A and B are shown apart, each in its own frame.
Chain A
Amino acid sequence: MGQLMMATTETNTVKTPIAYDELAARCLERIDFIERVLHSFSDRFVEDLEQLERYVETEDVQAIARLAHRMKGACGNTAAQELHEQVSRIERLAREDRFAEILPSIAGIHLAWTNFCQAMTNLNMQFPAVSSKG
Chain B
Amino acid sequence: MVKTIESSMQILIVDDDLTSVEILEHFLKELGYEVSVAYNGREADEMIRDRDFRLVISDWEMPEMSGIELCRSIRKRNLASYVYFVLLTCREGKHDLIEALEAGADDFICKPFQPDELRVRLHAADRIASLESRDLLIFALAKLTESRDPETGAHLERMRRYARVLAEQLRCNGTCNGEIDPDFIRTLFLTCPLHDIGKVGIPDQVLLKPGRLTKDEFEIMKQHTVIGSQTLDAALGVHPSADFLRFARDIAWTHHEKYDGSGYPRHLSGKEIPLCGRIVAVADVYDALTTKRVYKPAYSHDVARDIITDGSGTAFDPKMVNAFLDCEGKFVEIHRQLTPRQEPELSICERSILALA
Contact = CB atoms under 8 A, between A and B. Distances in A.
Interface stretch (B107-115, B143-151, B303-311): B107-115
* Interface-central residue, B22, B23, B30, by most chain A CB under 10 Å: B23
A73 B23 contact: no
Interface string A11-38: 0000000000010011110100100110
A73 B113 contact: no
B30 A28 contact: yes
A70 B17 CA distance: 6
B19 interface: yes
B20 A73 contact: yes
Interface in A31-57: 33, 36-37, 40-41, 44
Interface string B6-35: 000000000111111011101100100000
A77 B115 contact: no
B18 A77 contact: no
Contacts of B2: 28
Contacts of B59: 73
Contacts of B16: 70
A81 to B, nearest CB: 10
Contact of A26 (B15, B63, B90, B113): B113
A74 B17 contact: yes
Contact of B112 (A26, A33, A37): A26
A28 B27 contact: yes
B22 A73 contact: no
A41 B21 CA distance: 11
B61 interface: yes
Interface in B209-260: none
A26 B115 CA distance: 6
Interface residues of A, number: 22
A28 B26 contact: yes
Contacts of A69: 61, 90
A26 B23 contact: yes
Interface string B52-66: 000000010101000
A66 interface: yes
Interface in B108-166: 111-113, 115
A129 B63 CA distance: 37
B112 A40 contact: no
B90 A25 contact: no
B118 to A, nearest CB: 9
A74 B113 CA distance: 11
* Interface-central residue, A36, A70, A79, by most chain B CB under 10 Å: A70
* Interface-central residue, B2, B18, B111, B112, by most chain A CB under 10 Å: B112
Contacts of B23: 26-27, 37, 77-78
B61 A44 contact: no
Given A40-B19, A41-B19, A78-B19, A73 B111 contact: yes
Contacts of B20: 73-74, 76-77
A63 B113 CA distance: 25
B300 to A, nearest CB: 66
B23 to A, nearest CB: 5
Given A28-B115, A79-B112, A37 B19 contact: yes
B194 to A, nearest CB: 40
B26 to A, nearest CB: 6
A73 B63 CA distance: 15
Nearest to B31: A28
A77 B109 CA distance: 13
Contacts of A77: 17, 19-20, 23-24, 111-113
**Top 7 nearest A-B pairs by Cβ distance?**
A76-B112, A74-B19, A77-B112, A73-B17, A77-B20, A41-B19, A70-B17
Given A27-B26, A76-B111, A78-B23, 15 more contacts: A26-B112, A26-B115, A30-B26, A30-B30, A36-B22, A37-B22, A40-B19, A40-B22, A41-B19, A69-B90, A72-B90, A73-B112, A76-B20, A77-B19, A78-B19
28 contacts: A26-B23, A26-B115, A28-B2, A28-B26, A28-B27, A33-B26, A36-B22, A37-B22, A40-B18, A40-B19, A41-B19, A44-B18, A44-B19, A66-B61, A66-B63, A69-B61, A70-B17, A72-B90, A73-B112, A74-B17, A74-B18, A74-B20, A76-B20, A77-B111, A77-B112, A77-B113, A78-B19, A78-B23
